[in-house]
Structure 1
Amino acid sequence: MNATSAEIASQPDVWARAISEHTDPGRRELAAPGERMLILGCGTSWFVAQSLAELREQAGLGETDAVCASEYRPRRRYDRVVAITRSGTSTEVLEALRQVPAGTRRVAVTAVEGEPVDDLTDARILLDYADERSVVQTRYPTTVLTLARAMFGHATDSLIADGLEALTMPLPADPATIDHLVFLGTGWTVGLAHEAALKVREAAQAHSESYPAMDFRHGPVAVAGSRSLVWSLGEVPAGLDDVARGAGATAYRNSLDPLAQLLLVQRFALALADHRGLDPDRPRLLTRSVVLT
């Protein structure tokens, strides 16, 4: 078993720990009721930020924006800026935090302590038990989302059981028959769709796309075909399955918690990598953290 597959399999246990250990100080830093918040990150962490922003607003905790760290410009006023960064070393995240205006509270959600991000923030939520050896992120981002959902008051009752089911249930298709994937989401699962597509690109070097669900018909359907898998995450309109099938693609959805479905996506990405003779622990051109010179 490679490191990536072991970390994927560990997720239900890690999620359970996150749910049981979330504390009032942590809730104050991440939920911060009534404050106007910006959440930023790069790559996977940016997609997590998108989901977190939607979940926080759904919970009625306050206006929340998400931005790719490299595109942050201090043009709007925020009470708090939260940086999602597994390593605490990504150059774009550190540069964004340096631009945050004085008087704005800065918080990092990270898996490692003692890194440069600590010197640029006022508080840190440390998820060291969710850290990973793998370059490709799996359990860290899903644990951040699990923790936030618990802190925001979203239901997580079925999450652990659904995660365990996602570890053993059949894959939605034979990887040998698929070379194009499209992930669709709505609301907070749009960020999950983007993250799902990224996992397929990183681990399996495969063609993958992601969209807000209804946008699939506004152009992307044109490239769907017999070797495409169109995967819906969350409450995506059922009629889009017919649209996918009409293009010759395989349409897939299930009733698991959308975060548990992301675990199934990770398994599929590894199976596709194996079919292609790739080592997901050594993804092409990628490193654990992007540090620019």
Structure 2
Amino acid sequence: MNDTSEEIASQPTVWQEGLRRTAEARELLAAPGERMLLLGCGTSWFVAQSIAELRESAGLGESDAVCASEYRPRRRYDRVVAITRSGTSTEVLDALRQVPAGTRRVAVTAVGGMPVDGLAEDRLLLDFADERSVVQTRFPTTVLAVARAAFGEDLSHLAAHGRAALEAPLPADPAAIEHLVFLGTGWTVGLAHEAALKVRESAQAYSESYPAMDFRHGPVAVAGPRSLLFSFGGVPAGLDDAGRAAGATTYRDDRDPLAQLVLAQRFALALAAHRGLDPDRPRLLTRSVVLTDAA
């Protein structure tokens, strides 16, 4: 066992702890009627995309998600939520410094006492979901679980689905796969992006992600016999036909999309092991991106 695999396996238990914070998260993330912007980098940006879609679909108010490095204070928001595991990412801190006065700033983080605390009026601290690993797994899934509960979703099934995903067979033999495509729709598009990132980070493998229906608008052209097409949530079943016609292996199941992400995380680790890589020491990556002035 390595740190990453242990943290993947801990997710059902950590989610249950997170759901005990639903009332606190509802106050900070639901904010009915407010216009909200969610910021993040890398994994946290994909989480922000999913939360924005979930919140707006729940009828709680207009919600946008922007990569922190691309934030420009051109639109008015009532609340800006920054998602940052470490609380130290340079681009997130720089974005919060640009937020106009009078806008409520909220930090969602796994570590207290970090620089982000001085730039936010409120903080949702999920320190029990922090990770030793560079590659994020349980922190982002816990943020999403807490947000979904805060928006009124019944997640009484979630831990059981997560445990089942930890025991399920992998969607393919890692030795037979060299190209992965992850598809989602609605809030699971963010999950698709996150799954593809996990494969790149852990296994240095060729992975892509798309809104499901866009797969046939060009990306299908690179699918082949060594491709795995992995669908999150309610992706139209007809897309499997397009994948199989290209010779690809297809995978879908009926578990909660967060549990499906657990399976994708496991596959990324299995692919890393097949390639002789250590997922706890991903190439060129650090736990937090902190840039110098020269950068």
Q: Name the TM-score class by shorter chain.
A: over 0.9
Contact 1:22 1:147 in 2 (8 A): yes
1:22 counterpart = 2:19: no
Distance 1:48 1:205 in 2: 21
State the match for 1:47 in structure 2. 46
Cα distance in structure 2, aligned partners of 1:236 and 1:26:
29
Return the letter of the residue paired with 1:140: F
Letter in 2 for 1:257: D
Structure 2: gaps (5+ residues)? none
Are 2:117 and 1:114 aligned? no
RMSD: 0.6
Contact kept in structure 1, 2:78 and 2:104, CA below 8 Å: yes
Query: Aligned pairs, how many?
Result: 292
TM-score (normalizing by structure 2): 0.98
The letter of the residue matching 2:19 is I
3-state SS in 2 of match to 1:231: strand
* Partner of residue 264, structure 1: 263
* Per-residue deviation, 1:80: 0.2
- How big is each residue's C-alpha offset from its partner over 1:178-223, in whole Å with a ceiling of 9 and x where there is no partner? 0000000000000000000000000000000000000000100000
The DSSP-based 3-state class of the residue aligned with 2:267 is: helix
Secondary structure of residue in 1 paired with 2:123: strand
Letter in 1 for 2:205: A
> Which residue matches 2:283?
284
Q: What is the alpha-carbon distance in structure 1 between the residues aligned to residue 208 and residue 157 of structure 2? A: 28
What does the per-residue CA deviation read over 1:44-78, in whole Å, with 9 as the maximum and x for residues that have no partner?
00000000000001111100000000000000000
Q: CA deviation at 1:155?
A: 2.4
Letter in 1 for 2:149: A
Percent identity, aligned pairs only, is: 79
Equivalent position of 2:101 in the other structure: 102
Q: Kindly state the Cα deviation for residue 19 of structure 1 after the two structures are TM-superposed.
A: 1.0
Confirm or deny that 1:145 pairs with 2:124.
no
> Which amino acid in the other structure matches residue 208 of structure 1?
S
Residue 28 of structure 1 deviates from its aligned partner by 1.2
1:242 corresponds to 2:241: yes
Q: 2:249 is aligned with what amino acid?
A: T
Kindly provide the CA deviation profile for residues 94-145 of structure 1, in whole angstroms up to 9, marking residues without a partner as x.
0000000000000000000110000000000000000000000000000000
Give the whole-Å Cα distance in 1 for the aligned partners of 2:260 and 2:169.
Answer: 12
Which SS does the other structure have where 1:56 is aligned? helix
Supply the AA of the counterpart residue of 2:247: G
Is 1:8 aligned to residue 4 of structure 2? Answer: no
What is the rounded CA distance, in whole Å, between the counterparts of 1:78 and 1:148 in structure 2? 19
Q: Is the 8 A contact 1:136 1:202 kept in 2?
A: yes
Letter in 2 for 1:13: T
The residue aligned with 1:129 is: 128
8 Å contact 1:196–1:262 — kept in the other structure? yes
Partners of 2:22 and 2:186 in 1: CA distance: 24
TM-score under structure 1 length normalisation: 0.99
Q: How does 1:30-69 map onto structure 2 within 5 Å? A: 30-69=29-68
Q: Deviations over 1:23-57 (max 9, x none)?
A: 2x431111111100000000000000000000001
After superposition, the C-alpha distances for 1:2-37 in whole angstroms (9 at most, x for unaligned) are 0000000000000011112322x4311111111000
Aligned to 1:207: 206
* Aligned partners of 1:59 and 1:154 also within 8 Å: no
Corresponding residue of 2:176 = 177
Say whether the 8 Å CA contact 2:188–2:233 is kept in structure 1.
yes
Runs of at least 4 residues off by over 2 Å: 20-23
Name the aligned partner's letter for residue 275 of structure 1.
H
